[in-house]
Structure 1
Amino acid sequence: MYRLTLFLFLALPLGVFAQTVTTGTIFDYSNKKLSLPGVTVKNLTNKKSTSTNNAGKYTISANVGDLIEFSLVGYHTDTLYLTNLLNRTIYLPVKSNKLNDVNIEAVRLNKSLVNIKDPLAEKYSLLSTGGNLERKKMTDKVGGLGLNLGYGKYKRQQRKEADLEERERYLEEIDDNFNEKTVSEMTKLEGQDLKNFILIYRPSVEAVKAERPYRYAYYISRAYVAWQKLTPEERKLQDLPKLKAN
């Protein structure tokens, strides 16, 4: 009887320590010192769920390879793919609120701005008029409209250059957050598989621009789940067909 009691006493801690869990703390993305209590933490793999305490801390049953979802009203939902069970720090971005449309019925201009001349404006051209209308002077505005084609071309060129600069900034951001080092740390892919994954799932500028701030960790975890469902052939980049000689 003594030996049986001793065996059960020693076996109980082993059963407890055999359970695997992951822990972490959740903060506001903009104010990284602000912990978030009440965040729902759900293991999408084993269907377990919990919530963060007043200090923003959580503990949930999990194994390597599980998907953990974090959600809170007023914040973007995030998902984490577990590559290990180490303690983590999670940052949730606040959802942006769109302003309601405002109808502007009148605008009061500063009097000092009314008579300012555009240094890039060209002289107005003379248009022929028919009937009994007298010809207008060269310095008059035709029909009350100022024709300034040179300035319009200048503005279009400015917009084009601004668009190119903006695109370059987004491409640099994607390179900084979706590269071999970052992807490998999350997915443990390496070699040709890592290169193929990056080429297949690299986020587009349009996707990154549409969601600000862009959640790269969430995107990589979802892309890796999709990658695991691909066949070995689908994971390979298909070579372009060779051109036939004439």
Structure 2
Amino acid sequence: MLKKLYLLCFLLLPLAVWAQDTYITGNVFDNEQRGLALQDVAVRNLSTKTLVVTDKNGRFALGAKKGDIISFALSGYQTDTVYLTNLFAKNIYLRAAVNTLNTVNVTTAKVSPLLDTKDPEAVAARRVDASKNRGGLRLNLGYGKWRRQQAKEAELEEAADINEEISKNFNKAVIQKLVNYKEKDLDDYIGMYRPTVAQVKTETPFNYTYYIATTFNEWKKLPAESRKMPALPKLKGNP
């Protein structure tokens, strides 16, 4: 009986190891306040189309393998992507999105004499619509929250579409064909120079051929030690 148990454990061990190697885990934080964990971050595997969200402590666990591309998106923050060269637990720091408005110089101002004139036909706005035919009072509550949620979902969908476009045009096969370079450290170039969603949105359509040609030459000119992807800090409790 004991021999059978040893045999069963021996047979199940590869399965346990395989299961550990098919998940990526980690935490997502605010880049400025690094102790601030971010909840409800959409963590998407762009290779498998799977999606999870972070919990209240910013933690996530997502099925993945080496070579997959993982995106991190949250309303109010810049979407970030990570090219997986390993499956170690990762800390991700998202930068707050900044909307820059052009400066307007006001040189003159004129106040209309009709500014305070009331419209004689104006009707006071009502927040509550009373209708007998509709069974009583109809309250327009929660619309603002619903609209914000719709905007957030639209933003995440747009980011997902752009990341899918990037994956189709900026991958190992495309780059190898363009620059005729097949060394193993090409993964470092891909991880360091993968275009961001913000970059692609600033130029429509985005010229991937020109981008690859210029950034690859820039990467090749770097010292050998600078061409390596920086190692991410490991989480406590992980080997």
Q: State if a TM-score over 0.5 links the two structures.
A: no
Higher Cα radius of gyration: 1
Which structure has more relative contact order (CA 8 Å, sep 6+)? It is 2
TM-score, length of structure 1 as denominator length: 0.40
TM-score, length of structure 2 as denominator length: 0.41
